Structure 1
Amino acid sequence: MTNTVTLASEHDSADLKTFLERADRLGCEHVWLIGAGTALVAYVAVLTPQGLLDIAPTVLGMRIFERSEDSSLDTVVHVRAMLDRLAHDALVIPLPVGQAGIAWTGVAPPRGGWKPTGDMLEIELHLTAKAGIEEVAQANGLGTNIVTAVREEVWRRPLNVQHTEAAITVPAGIAFAGFGLGFFGTGIAQVTQSGAWTRITTERGHILVK
């Protein structure tokens, strides 16, 4: 497996840097990098269950970048370590030391089998995220346990998927992830499903939830 990533252009490098900076601000510690042909697939975990009894969803942000190589790659590294390396060389990036035992990387989202199930307005997801952030912020100062409980309650709330034959909902955490990662504009997000996973796709990236 390669110990470097060579991006195809400065545009890809700038996009990766922005993606990782936003992930870092959301508190994402790790990024999962997978090489698929000349594509570099990058996942970050915005929301994950904390412990066996936690029923919170797993919400991942994903973006795809182009690299100039076709080599095997499957590693989990620290977000800040990748940002440090991007600051030194924008195109040829030595990979940080891989991290083992990161729970949310135990099961990768499927690469195929995605079936259209509906859509959602990006502006509505944007507004949902802002309202949820304000609600969580109002609990600040009330104690760690209360803030944690409010945060979990807010981001577990179901949102309806539109234009679908069956009643499909996704947790509001997908709005938080998409807003924080800068994935929303004024368009329509496409919703697809594969097995236990649901994917919300915009022109700027993908949000996956299980």
Structure 2
Amino acid sequence: MTVLHLADEGEAADLAAFLSRLLHYDRGAAVRLQAAGTALAVFGRPPSFEVLAIRAVRLAKPYENGIDVTLDVTVSAGELLETVDESAATAGVPAAVTGPPWAGVLPPRGGWQAEPGLPEPGQLRRLVAASVAEFRSRTEELAPEARTRAELDRIGREIWSRTVAGTGLPVRAVHAAQSLGFLRGDDQVLFSSGSWLRLRTPYGSVAVRRAGLGTLGISVR
């Protein structure tokens, strides 16, 4: 098994936490790993949010045993988590799995430009809290016979599809960032590239396709 040497114990702990959160939403989650040099990108898609989550991990050295200069493989998130050794700051690369459809369509690597209009971090967190409270309130007001899965999904889509302050970023992307532990601190930036929007924080990014822009900016790798 190929062993990845992470930069330090903190990187290993953060990787384990990210994988654990993905598995919370999908016990059969897969992740796509892409590495070059001393940077590893871990892509996942928590189904509840319909966004792409990206965790960047620093490596102490590219690979051992003479592996090629790049790594690109889709693996089981659970099997990857089992290989993470926080004290040794290492992780093994499990056997490849047949990737889900999303794993074949990733955001572009370049061409990102900063987008204006993103509210300050405190406002983003309050927006998520208010949206969660609204969902709970509206669903609790439903009569028992009306509280169907279809109606709950309809209310959820209405709330989470709203955009943030005219930026085009759906509220569900901010909710995903908070649920995955990304929405901490005071350094969040919104970027765009083609049809993609990406909310970047020091702890990870959430990317989503903008509605109505077709396939522009798609990167199939």
Q: TM-score, normalised to structure 1's length?
A: 0.80
State the distance in 2 between where 1:132 and 1:25 align: 21
Q: 1:27 is matched by which residue type in structure 2?
A: D
Over the aligned positions, Cα root-mean-square deviation in angstroms equals: 2.6
SS at match of 1:170: coil
Shift of 1:207: 1.5
Tell me the residue number matched to 1:52. none
State the distance in 1 between where 2:33 and 2:44 align: 9
Q: Which blocks of at least 5 consecutive residues in structure 2 are unaligned?
A: 64-68, 210-221
Which protein is richer in strand relative to its size? 1
Q: Does the 8 A contact of 1:5 with 1:95 survive in 2? A: yes
Deviations 1:119-162 (A, max 9, x none): 3322222122223333444538723222222222222111125x
| Residue 90 to residue 44, structure 1, CA distance change in 2 (3 Å) | farther
State the distance in 1 between where 2:17 and 2:99 align: 26
SS at match of 1:83: helix
Tell me the residue number matched to 1:10. 9
Q: Does the 8 A contact of 2:128 with 2:175 survive in 1? A: yes
Q: 2:62 is matched by which residue type in structure 1?
A: E
Q: 1:65 aligns with which of 41, 53, 57?
A: 57
State the distance in 2 between where 1:22 and 1:101 align: 19
Shift of 1:202: 1.9
Q: TM-score, normalised to structure 2's length?
A: 0.76
Tell me the residue number matched to 1:164. none
| Identical aligned residues as a percent | 27
Tell me the residue number matched to 1:30. 30
Tell me the residue number matched to 1:172. 171
Q: Which blocks of at least 5 consecutive residues in structure 1 are unaligned?
A: 49-56, 162-167
SS at match of 2:169: strand
Q: Does the 8 A contact of 1:120 with 1:190 survive in 2? A: no
User: Which of these two proteins has the greater Rg computed from alpha carbons?
Assistant: 2
Q: Does the 8 A contact of 1:47 with 1:60 survive in 2? A: no
What is the aligned length? 195
Q: Does the 8 A contact of 2:187 with 2:202 survive in 1? A: no
